Chain A
Amino acid sequence: MSEQQTGTPQIKQGFAEMFKGGVIMDVVTADQARIAEAAGATAVMALERVPADIRKDGGVARMSDPKMIKEIIGAVSIPVMAKVRIGHVVEAQILQALGVDFIDESEVLTPADEQFHILKSDFAVPFVCGAKNLGEALRRVGEGASMIRTKGEAGTGNVVEAVRHARTVLGEIRAIQARPAEELMTVARDLQAPYELVKYVHANGKLPVVNFAAGGVATPADAALMMYLGLDGVFVGSGIFKSSNPERRAQAIVKAVTHYQNPDLLAEISEDLGAPMTGINIDDLIPAERLAARGW
């Protein structure tokens, strides 16, 4: 089987395609991972503290304890993702060695490098990265990310930033499509994005990889809104395990992503879920507390 290949962009991006129309849930214990799997999560994100607690506790947030990640890998059959700090190549090497299925180079953790992201094409494991706009998304894809997500403002239960990032990326894609081909090099310069990827967006009207929503999703309607805007799937963090009934809410969000175009079903799905997580108004955050501003 000498022609067998692993870790190629096709394999990594193809795997990311399989999460489409699905919900990826943050979990901090094997028990939560089992709840997420039973609720219909397409993957779990193993981390030590959900973003709401990282926000509350402060301090430096880092890659999780490998023991906890191994417990979660052993607890479920769905793919397991885990987060590394922006630019922390060694944390990523450790997660790859543990056999995690996807790595999130995440602004929710404290950045390890204020200038450079990880060269993700060096890894066999696929990466997801956050982006606030198209230039940022295409730089991450240029570095080898196999999936892009909005940054949102994690741990707030407020979807407004995720909506802003989704609208920005999708609007910029539409704007590129409207440009004549001879203007694309200048577009690439202005976006600070690789020219070849700008040409791809011009020709195809989409990113070269799947594009998910993350940050502040707290209700089934929030999740459906992100799908309605044109994203491929949803990450949910604090919104589930900081609510009063995580099982019911997790199941409802999974259903809402599949049936986002069906308001009658969404009405049914949204009923009687108990209290959602307490939200934080983003205007109340001092700039240093804004996670979405991390990444460059």
Chain B
Amino acid sequence: MPAAEVGVLALQGAYREHAARLRGLGASVREVRLPRDLAGLAGLVLPGGESTTMVRLMDEYALWAPLRDFHARGGALWGTCAGAILLAAEVTGASPAAPAQRSLGLIDVTVQRNAFGRQLDSFTTPLEVAGLDTPFPAVFIRAPVITHAGPGVEVLARHGGEAVLARQGRVMASSFHPELTPDARLHELFLGLLEQRAPRVGGGAESAPARPPTLPGSA
């Protein structure tokens, strides 16, 4: 089977773990730091790390519009923890010092940052995920939660009543860290999204983002 080429946003955070896991599943992987690195990719993982840092670096190298174009052209995206914050339509719990945090608006959810508290409140737990036979060993680190999901969004897992894994079309968002466990099932699920829709650079019209972003994409 020809390997799908997948990108991992490598501005900061746990991008190497995602890359290693995806390679282990047969994908060829490229690190994405600049808009030109997106060319020809079928999917992109946005890793955990610090979302404020990533926002700053996305401003610096004008990644907002290219990432939205990538989605519009048929690319699949998956954000984990900070990555989920970047993909959301709306972000709450931004820094007390900063205005509302910008996000890509590619999945119709509202994400609240650090919803479970500080590092001392970080935890692991077996998580029931729709479509998986056995619980997924989820690692929540200063994790966000999905406080609102639009009608087109499928919530695949909840913890303590809060949505923590969601999917809309070919965009996935998880508030925990699948790359920190040996369990590859969610990475397999993501690679499955790529097969559903072969990417073509400059391909046909795709559906617009779930909801227009609340703020302009570039500073």
Contacts and interface: CB of A to CB of B under 8 A. Distances in A.
Q: Of B95, B122, B141, B142, which is in contact with the most chain A CB atoms at under 10 Å from its CB?
A: B122
B1 interface: no
Given A5-B125, A76-B95, A14 B141 contact: yes
B62 interface: no
B56 interface: yes
Given A1-B160, A37-B98, A255-B60, A14 B180 contact: yes
B70 interface: no
A257 B113 CA distance: 24
A18 B120 contact: no
B121 A6 contact: yes
B50 A22 contact: yes
B187 interface: no
A40 B56 CA distance: 6
B218 interface: no
Given A14-B141, A40-B57, A21 B95 contact: no
Contacts, number: 135
Interface size on B, as a range, is 35 or more
A293 B141 CA distance: 34
Given A41-B53, A254-B57, A18 B48 contact: yes
A199 B57 CA distance: 38
A11 B33 contact: no
Given A18-B48, A21-B49, A37-B95, A10 B57 contact: no
A38 B57 CA distance: 11
B17 interface: yes
A255 B60 CA distance: 8
Contacts of A255: 57, 60
B52 A21 contact: no
B53 A14 contact: no
B126 A3 contact: yes
A134 B114 CA distance: 35
A242 interface: no
Nearest to A41: B53
Overall SS of chain B's interface: loop
B139 interface: yes
Contacts of A1: 125, 159-160
Nearest to B10: A21
* Chain A CB within 10 Å, residue with most, of B53, B113, B142: B53
Given A14-B139, A14-B141, A14-B180, A20 B124 contact: no
Q: Chain A: interface residue count, which band?
A: 35 or more
Interface in A111-162: 124-126
Contacts of A6: 120-123
Nearest to B15: A21
Interface string A88-109: 0000000010010110000000
Given A11-B123, A20-B49, A22-B50, A258 B180 contact: no
Contact of B49 (A3, A7, A42, A96): A42
Contacts of B49: 18-22, 42
Interface of B: 10-17, 33, 48-50, 52-53, 56-57, 60, 81-82, 93-98, 113-114, 118-126, 139, 141-142, 159-160, 177, 180
Q: Which 10 A-B pairs have the closest CB atoms?
A: A40-B56, A77-B95, A101-B119, A34-B97, A21-B12, A42-B50, A4-B125, A14-B180, A40-B53, A22-B12
Given A5-B124, A37-B98, 19 more contacts: A3-B125, A4-B125, A6-B121, A11-B122, A14-B180, A18-B82, A19-B50, A20-B49, A21-B12, A38-B98, A42-B50, A42-B53, A77-B94, A77-B113, A79-B50, A96-B120, A101-B119, A251-B60, A258-B10
